[in-house]
């Protein structure tokens, strides 16, 4: 995007120390943001990301499923940068190792842990942001990360049904709060990527059979796995005043996934 669409804005990126969140934080700074607070669970990742992004970035180590985490991030934004204008919630992840999978195989713990990580954490961060916007009387922008799997399933290689349910629920939740808080000028939107090369996607990105499938399922730009920076301009746009008349929308950045059949060998 040209110019400085986030000039003088303060952004909080929950889950901003790696992958899509880190790339978005870097893009926000390049788009003129005054400051960015990034959060994540791993202290080494947080320190490394903050060091890479420079003095306009402050890290916060913590767990997005903790109700105190997002309020602490917003407080840090105010303390270090003197304001808060937008939230991007990226934190989440596959529940495969926690017991998610095809419905007949999902464990009770897998349901709980996957929903807590991917849906509960979003509700908590959005609640904190809305409360802050209302207290400020300022309006603001919320962007939540979903997935194409929430509305465009791919059963051969990506059968994690609780994860898909959570990502679909993010869309319904975001649309609902977008409708409710529009009179307060609080905008709430969703970004829905397909398979992107992030730490969560290592299993798929290292599987030659899946990559062959992705070449036809995500056929844009030669047919490839996405890169975090493919989503940066969309995130900056939805967080910025350039989208001041946009709320309750879902933008798929998916390389054609949702309109392509994909060829299974």
Residues recognised as catalytic: 163
Q: Please list the residues that pair with 212 across neighbouring strands.
A: none
Dig out the tokens for 35 from the structure.
């400051």
- Convert 23-47 to b/e letters by CB count within 10 Å (16 or more is b): bbbbbbbebebbbbbbbbbeeebbe
Cβ 39 vs Cβ 64: under 8 Å? yes
Residues 6+ apart with CB under 8 A from 34: 7, 8, 9, 10, 56, 81, 82, 83
Sign of CA dihedral 207, 114, 161, 171: negative
Residues 213 and 263: beta-carbon distance below 8 Å: yes
Cα dihedral 73, 163, 26, 45, rounded to 10, equals 70
CA 53 to chain centre: 19
């Amino acid at each position: 995007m040209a110019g400085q669409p986030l000039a003088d804005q303060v952004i909080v990126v929950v889950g901003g120390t790696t992958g899509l969140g880190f790339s978005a934080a870097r893009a926000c700074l390049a788009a003129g943001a005054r400051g960015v607070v990034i959060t994540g669970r791993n202290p080494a990742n947080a320190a490394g990301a903050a060091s890479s992004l420079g003095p306009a970035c402050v890290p916060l180590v913590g767990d997005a499923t903790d109700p105190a985490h997002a309020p602490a991030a917003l407080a840090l934004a105010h303390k270090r940068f003197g304001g808060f204008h937008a939230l991007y919630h990226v934190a989440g992840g596959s529940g495969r190792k926690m017991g998610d999978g095809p419905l007949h195989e999902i464990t009770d713990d897998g349901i709980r842990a996957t929903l807590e990580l991917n849906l509960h954490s979003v509700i908590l961060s959005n609640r904190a942001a809305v409360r802050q916007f209302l207290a400020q009387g300022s309006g603001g922008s919320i962007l939540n990360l979903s997935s194409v799997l929430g509305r465009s399933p791919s059963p051969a290689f990506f059968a994690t049904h609780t994860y898909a349910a959570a990502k679909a629920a993010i869309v319904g939740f975001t649309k609902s709060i977008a409708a409710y808080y529009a009179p307060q000028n609080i905008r709430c939107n969703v970004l829905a990527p397909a398979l992107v090369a992030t730490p969560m996607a290592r299993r798929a990105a290292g599987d030659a059979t899946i990559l062959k499938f992705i070449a036809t399922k995500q056929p844009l730009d030669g047919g490839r796995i996405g890169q975090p920076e493919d989503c940066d301009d969309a995130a900056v746009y939805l967080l910025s005043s350039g989208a001041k008349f946009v709320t309750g929308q879902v933008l798929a950045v998916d390389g054609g996934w949702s309109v392509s059949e994909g060829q299974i060998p």
